């Protein structure tokens, strides 16, 4: 029976993985960023141009403005690991067709063969890194059905590993940005998920190495850096009965791992201080301003009252830094002073939301950095996490509309919502609201046919609330979530069918950013409270699986 059960779960994961690949490939049939829109095109052309630069120029020229490398035209602005990845992809592209990466002449190159190559390059990266990372994380950290038995008796059932894997792989946000809009977020996010898994399994050196890889692929992984730093630092503080030397030894090993990894990745640039400074200048472009387009964070929402984009950039950098650090303090201090693996994923959520809401130079796509840790926490707080994930996709609606990905976004969101609904009812059928309403309807019909009396309606409702002590809260949460998602849906429909006035051409993107920013602030408070309510536990120094308590 156990073997059969394991086999069923394995088949569910296999089916979910194949379905996820199919949805990614299908999304690739839709338009991409900047398709046929010269002179700058979009992110698709940016990735292609980086392949052109890295395969035709010496490594020391990759980040410098030269006659062959115009930084104003999609200059490379990601860390060296991205550049090496683009070099690998570009080398394959050059082998297939030299026109794909011919210096200068390949600008804006678009052909069916090239589109197929570019789409496959993302799909293969996703299948090799992000998909396995998600599967490994859930299998190693999410309790199986045995671990859920006690929770089930209490009426609180977290999603199992196999169900969680399928739902995570069907999340629309990453699919739409990587396989629709066109980027390689799956690489850095997949490496970050592997780092989280290693840390929760007490493989701190491996976790440090993997997170360094993620950070050296995209600098936005700094959103996740504070929890890694403070948790790993807390593990170096000697526990009762341990000597100071053991903590220093562990700290030295972690520091050596970080230094070694950065040295190897940055080695081609370390021979010149000017090269290092130029790379850093490209990674942190202060001159671009506080935000681009309409992003769902605090600064963009408040920009309607005070024009922050008109403030001197250096002043805004200081303001953003102060606000971000202040927002990080409660979660980071709590994680360091009261370390607990149960807090770690929540700390990742809180850290990434702090950076997104208060940070400098935030993009709409940066919400994916908060969405991934929420995906990791979804088995233990399904409704809140599902709600948040739906809003993250909605917050990117203006970008998706500009890329003509509205149809793909609508289909993927419906698919994700239906999958979640089916999964939630499956793991918790006796406590689902669908079951309650069926029972209530049956009682009402019996009253109508005089087979029972009206008092039974009250009895059925009372019994349901009595069996599930959290029913009232759950009902309120369902109602609020439904109103919230309905509001977002209506706003999306309005943006499609109602033309804004000429005086306010950005009305709908602005309303979308404000609507989502208000929600994200609420979730930031919610997840901070969740983290702070988890106590420190002595058992956390052991290798144990974490649950939702």
pLDDT in tens, 174-215: 999 999 999 999 999 999 999 999 999 999 999 999 999 999
Query: Is 368 in contact with 177 (CB distance < 8 Å)?
Result: yes
Residue 545, pLDDT score:
45
Domain that holds residue 529: 2-30+111-439+466-541
Q: Is 70 within the bounds of a domain?
A: no
Q: pLDDT above 90 covers what percent of the chain? A: 73
CA distances (Å), 489 to each of 419, 476, 480, in order? Answer: 18, 20, 14
Query: Is 198 in contact with 206 (CB distance < 8 Å)?
Result: yes
Average pLDDT, the chain: 88
CA distances (Å), 118 to each of 91, 112, 122, 286, 365, in order? Answer: 13, 10, 7, 30, 20
Asked which of 87-96, 290-299, 343-352 is least confident by mean pLDDT, the reply is 290-299
pLDDT band at 476 (very low <50, low <70, confident <90, very high): confident
Average pLDDT of the residues in 461-487: 73
pLDDT in tens, 6-64: 568 888 899 999 999 999 999 999 999 999 999 999 999 999 999 999 999 999 999 99
Distance from C-alpha of 364 to C-alpha of 346, rounded to nearest angstrom: 22
Average pLDDT of the residues in 229-237: 94
In Å, the largest CA–CA distance within the chain is 89
Residue 387, pLDDT score:
96
pLDDT band at 478 (very low <50, low <70, confident <90, very high): confident
Distance from C-alpha of 27 to C-alpha of 21, rounded to nearest angstrom: 10
CA distances (Å), 91 to each of 97, 213, 421, 545, in order? Answer: 10, 21, 44, 43
Q: Is 450 within the bounds of a domain?
A: no
Distance from C-alpha of 284 to C-alpha of 269, rounded to nearest angstrom: 17
Q: Is 78 within the bounds of a domain?
A: no
Give the burial class of 271: count Cβ atoms within 10 A of its Cβ; 0-12 exposed, 13-18 middle, 19 or more buried.
exposed
Residue 439, pLDDT score:
54
Distance from C-alpha of 526 to C-alpha of 537, rounded to nearest angstrom: 22
Residue 542, pLDDT score:
39
Residue 543, pLDDT score:
40
Distance from C-alpha of 61 to C-alpha of 184, rounded to nearest angstrom: 23
Residue 461, pLDDT score:
61
Distance from C-alpha of 388 to C-alpha of 522, rounded to nearest angstrom: 10
Distance from C-alpha of 348 to C-alpha of 367, rounded to nearest angstrom: 13
| Count of all residues that appear for the chain in the document | 549
Average pLDDT of the residues in 443-451: 49
The residues that bridge with 362 in the sheet, in sequence order, are 291
Distance from C-alpha of 84 to C-alpha of 187, rounded to nearest angstrom: 13
Residue 1, pLDDT score:
45
Asked which of 49-58, 114-123, 240-249, 266-275 is least confident by mean pLDDT, the reply is 240-249
Residue 549, pLDDT score:
41
Q: Is 59 within the bounds of a domain?
A: no
pLDDT in tens, 367-395: 999 999 999 999 999 989 999 999 999 99
Query: Is 125 in contact with 186 (CB distance < 8 Å)?
Result: yes
Average pLDDT of the residues in 228-241: 89
Distance from C-alpha of 240 to C-alpha of 256, rounded to nearest angstrom: 26
Average pLDDT of the residues in 296-306: 92
pLDDT in tens, 92-113: 999 999 999 999 999 999 999 9
Orientation angle between helical segments 161-169 and 2-27, nearest 10 degrees: 0
Distance from C-alpha of 176 to C-alpha of 192, rounded to nearest angstrom: 20
Picking from 175, 55, 43, 174, the residue whose alpha carbon sits closest to that of residue 118 is 43
Residue 447, pLDDT score:
47
* CA 295 and chain centroid, separation: 16
Q: DSSP string spanning 214-270?
A: HHHH-GGGGGGHHHHHHHHHHHTSPPTT--HHHHHHHHHHHHHHHHHHHHHHHGGGT
Distance from C-alpha of 349 to C-alpha of 252, rounded to nearest angstrom: 28
Q: Is 74 within the bounds of a domain?
A: no
Query: Is 21 in contact with 123 (CB distance < 8 Å)?
Result: yes
The b/e string for 468-502 (b: 16+ C-beta within 10 A; e otherwise) is: beebeebeeeeeebeebbeebeebbeebeeeeeee
Residue 194, pLDDT score:
98
Residue 441, pLDDT score:
56
Picking from 417, 425, 424, the residue whose alpha carbon sits closest to that of residue 393 is 417
Q: Is 547 within the bounds of a domain?
A: no
pTM exceeds cut of 0.85: yes
Average pLDDT of the residues in 166-177: 97
Orientation angle between helical segments 244-266 and 80-96, nearest 10 degrees: 40
Q: How many domains does the chain have?
A: 1
Q: Is 67 within the bounds of a domain?
A: no
Q: Is 95 within the bounds of a domain?
A: no
Distance from C-alpha of 156 to C-alpha of 473, rounded to nearest angstrom: 13
* CA 222 and chain centroid, separation: 13
Residue 145, pLDDT score:
55
pLDDT in tens, 121-164: 999 999 999 999 999 999 999 877 554 544 544 434 468 899 99
Query: Is 516 in contact with 509 (CB distance < 8 Å)?
Result: no
Q: pLDDT above 70 covers what percent of the chain? A: 84
The residues that bridge with 291 in the sheet, in sequence order, are 362
The set of residues, in sequence order, having a beta carbon less than 8 Å from that of 433 and lying 6+ positions away, is 474, 475, 478
Average pLDDT of the residues in 504-518: 94
Query: Is 246 in contact with 238 (CB distance < 8 Å)?
Result: yes
């Amino acid at each position: 029976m156990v073997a059969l059960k394991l086999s069923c779960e394995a088949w569910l994961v296999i089916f979910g993985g194949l379905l996820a690949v199919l949805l990614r490939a299908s999304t690739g049939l839709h338009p991409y960023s900047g398709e046929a829109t010269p002179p700058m095109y979009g992110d698709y052309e940016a990735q292609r141009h980086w392949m052109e630069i890295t395969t035709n120029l010496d490594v020391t020229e990759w980040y410098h403005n030269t006659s062959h490398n115009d930084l104003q035209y999609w200059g490379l602005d990601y860390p060296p690991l991205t550049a090496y990845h683009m070099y690998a992809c570009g080398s394959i592209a050059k082998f297939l067709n030299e026109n794909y990466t011919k210096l200068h002449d390949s600008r804006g190159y678009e052909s069916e063969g090239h589109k197929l190559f570019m789409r496959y390059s993302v799909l293969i990266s996703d299948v090799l890194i992000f998909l396995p990372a998600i599967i490994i994380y859930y299998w190693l950290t999410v309790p199986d059905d045995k671990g859920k038995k006690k929770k089930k008796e209490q009426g609180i059932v977290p999603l199992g590993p196999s169900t969680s894997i399928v739902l995570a792989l069907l999340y629309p946000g990453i699919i739409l940005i990587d396989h629709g809009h066109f980027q390689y977020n799956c690489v850095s996010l997949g490496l970050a998920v592997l780092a989280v898994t290693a840390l929760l399994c007490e493989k701190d050196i491996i976790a440090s190495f993997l997170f360094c890889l993620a950070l050296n692929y995209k600098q936005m992984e700094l959103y996740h850096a504070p929890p890694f730093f403070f948790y790993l630092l807390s593990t170096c503080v000697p526990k009762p009965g341990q000597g100071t030397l053991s903590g220093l030894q562990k700290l030295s090993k972690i520091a050596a791992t970080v230094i070694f990894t950065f040295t190897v990745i940055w080695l081609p640039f370390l021979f010149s201080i000017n090269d290092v400074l130029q790379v850093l200048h490209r990674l942190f472009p202060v001159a671009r301003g506080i935000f681009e387009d309409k992003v769902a964070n605090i600064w963009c929402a408040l920009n309607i009252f005070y024009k922050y984009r008109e403030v001197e950039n250096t002043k805004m950098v200081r303001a953003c830094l102060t606000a971000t650090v202040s927002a990080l303090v409660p979660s980071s201090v709590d994680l360091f002073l009261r370390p607990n693996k149960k807090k770690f994923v929540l700390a990742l959520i809180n850290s990434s939301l702090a950076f997104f809401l208060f940070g400098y130079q935030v993009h709409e796509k940066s919400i994916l950095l908060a969405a991934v840790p929420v995906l990791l926490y979804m088995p233990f707080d399904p409704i809140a996490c599902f709600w948040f994930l739906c809003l993250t996709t909605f917050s990117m609606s203006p970008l998706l509309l500009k890329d003509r990905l509205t149809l793909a976004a609508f289909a993927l969101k419906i698919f994700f919502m239906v999958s979640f609904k089916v999964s939630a009812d499956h793991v918790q059928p006796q406590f689902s609201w669908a079951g309650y309403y069926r029972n209530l309807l049956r009682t009402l019909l019996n009253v109508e046919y005089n087979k029972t009396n009206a008092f039974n309606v009250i009895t059925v409702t009372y019994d349901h609330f009595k069996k599930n002590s959290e029913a009232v809260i759950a009902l309120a949460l369902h109602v609020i979530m439904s109103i919230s998602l309905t509001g977002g849906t209506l706003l999306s429909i309005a943006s499609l069918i109602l033309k804004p006035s000429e005086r306010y051409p950005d009305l709908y993107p602005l309303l979308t950013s404000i609507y989502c920013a208000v929600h994200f602030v609420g979730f930031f408070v919610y997840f901070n409270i969740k983290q702070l309510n988890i106590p420190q536990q002595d058992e956390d120094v052991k290798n144990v699986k974490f649950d939702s308590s």
